[in-house]
Structure 1
Amino acid sequence: MKRILIGVAIIVGVILLFKFCDFKKDESNIEYNSDLIQQQILNVGKLVVTEGHFSEVLTYKDQDKYLMDLISFEKKALIVVNADVTVSYDLRQVKYDIDEKNKVITITNIPEEEIKISPDIKFYDVNQSRFNQFTGDDYNKVNKTVKANLAKKIEKSTLKSNAKNRLVSELSKILILTNSMGWTLKFEGNVIEKEGDLNKNIKG
């Protein structure tokens, strides 16, 4: 009887040892997978930039009038604008939460796009009066008008959509990794199963 009890105790001990080893193995795998995902997010964390070039020609006119508009002094110029525009996402600002227990990674924040306009403005055929000359205020007005016009052109162009496509392409690397490890990726409360889901949930 004593031998039987010892034998049962040994068997139970072996079973518990195997279960403990399996538990430690699962725990180790989860930690390893979590580290892999965090590393992938760090790898993605770079500036995604799309560049464009815009040109426009406009005429600037201004008049100073005196003596009940009987006398006027006009200044005008032909303005040629060549502008380089960049639309970028700083993916170092991506925020996320990792739920190791349920194997879920949730992207909690994706930064807004950053638009940078760098215009090269040149004046031609400048015509001005001694009593109405070009000043710093005129150049500021021109610069403001140029940037407003370029902003409208950017909205009508494919520049922002191209930048968004590049953003989705970068974030898809996280999706591929999580899917390959049996994890779930979420954003805006939705499960992301394919690249198209990212595209639909990202604003812009």
Structure 2
Amino acid sequence: MGPTEKTKTSVFTEIRKWFILALIALVLFFGYKYFTKKDETSTVEYDTALIEQQIKNVGKLVVTEGHFAEVLTYKDNKKYLGNLIAFEKKALVIVNADVTVGFDLSLVKYDIDSINKVVNIISIPKEEIKISTDLKYYDTESSRMNEFTGEDYNKIAKIAKVNIAKKIANSPLKKNAKNRLISELSKLLIVTKTMGWKLQYNGEEMDKETDLGLKIKG
């Protein structure tokens, strides 16, 4: 084999070597990208599933209970002959009421952006107020011309509920219920921050519990 042929063989061998090295590099590069991408996808899927599970754990009925009592005096007059004759009926009523203020967190609407790692709370359900009253009648007075009827008892029950509702509005019961709501949602805030995600409420980032409090109470 002459010098020229040896040179050609050497060049060919060198080119083939570099070609093989380049091919190996490409295989390693795309293999790395494939497995790295797979790991990243798996991590995102795992984080998303974990956050969804935490939302389910938070999604329960948060209830604050209270008890109210009042004394109600009911009177009714039935008049005849142009108000010349009147027949009165009256009753002293002791009203005891058990009240619950609750938030059903399973009804919270939210959106999970797994690409940008953001959980956005869209809406929180309004509180549900339930009033259970127990009425006891004392010193009931009536006459055959103006007797107590079912309509009277229904009217008394409605008056009692209206009065209790006013007491609830002036009590800290609703505020306490919202504090419990904020406490439950703060668990989700802790999880998202720990995992490097963000928690938003209607697009506004919630960085700490007080942010949630201002948003919900406001």
Q: Give the TM-score normalised by structure 2.
A: 0.91
Deviations 1:94-118 (A, max 9, x none): 1111111111111112111000000
State the 1:171 CA deviation: 0.9
Q: Which moved more, 1:78-87 or 1:184-193?
A: 184-193
State the 1:180 CA deviation: 0.7
Q: Does 1:45 align with 2:59?
A: yes
**Which residue in the other structure is 2:77 paired with?**
63
**Which residue in the other structure is 1:150 paired with?**
164
The gaps in structure 1 that reach 5 residues or longer are none
Mapped partners of 1:134, 1:180: distance in 2: 65
**Which residue in the other structure is 1:141 paired with?**
155
State the 1:172 CA deviation: 1.0
Mapped partners of 2:46, 2:109: distance in 1: 20
Mapped partners of 2:114, 2:60: distance in 1: 25
Aligned identity (percent) is 58
Q: 2:47 is matched with which residue: 14, 29, 33?
A: 33
What SS is found at the alignment partner of 1:50?
strand
Q: How many residues of Structure 1 are paired with residues of Structure 2 in the alignment?
A: 204
Mapped partners of 1:203, 1:136: distance in 2: 41
Mapped partners of 2:59, 2:94: distance in 1: 38
The gaps in structure 2 that reach 5 residues or longer are 1-14
Q: Which moved more, 1:102-111 or 1:45-54?
A: 102-111
State the 1:119 CA deviation: 0.7
Amino acid at match of 2:128: E
**Which residue in the other structure is 2:211 paired with?**
197
Q: Does 1:108 align with 2:140?
A: no
State the 1:203 CA deviation: 4.5
Mapped partners of 1:17, 1:65: distance in 2: 97
* Alpha-carbon contact 1:188-1:201 (below 8 Å) kept: no
Mapped partners of 1:188, 1:108: distance in 2: 5
What SS is found at the alignment partner of 2:119?
strand
Moved over 2 A (4+): none
Mapped partners of 2:149, 2:106: distance in 1: 42
**Which residue in the other structure is 2:21 paired with?**
7
What SS is found at the alignment partner of 1:202?
helix
Q: Which moved more, 1:14-23 or 1:79-88?
A: 14-23
Mapped partners of 1:20, 1:197: distance in 2: 40
State the 1:189 CA deviation: 2.4
* Alpha-carbon contact 1:73-1:132 (below 8 Å) kept: yes
**Which residue in the other structure is 1:119 paired with?**
133
**Which residue in the other structure is 1:163 paired with?**
177
Q: Which has the larger radius of gyration?
A: 2
What SS is found at the alignment partner of 2:157?
helix
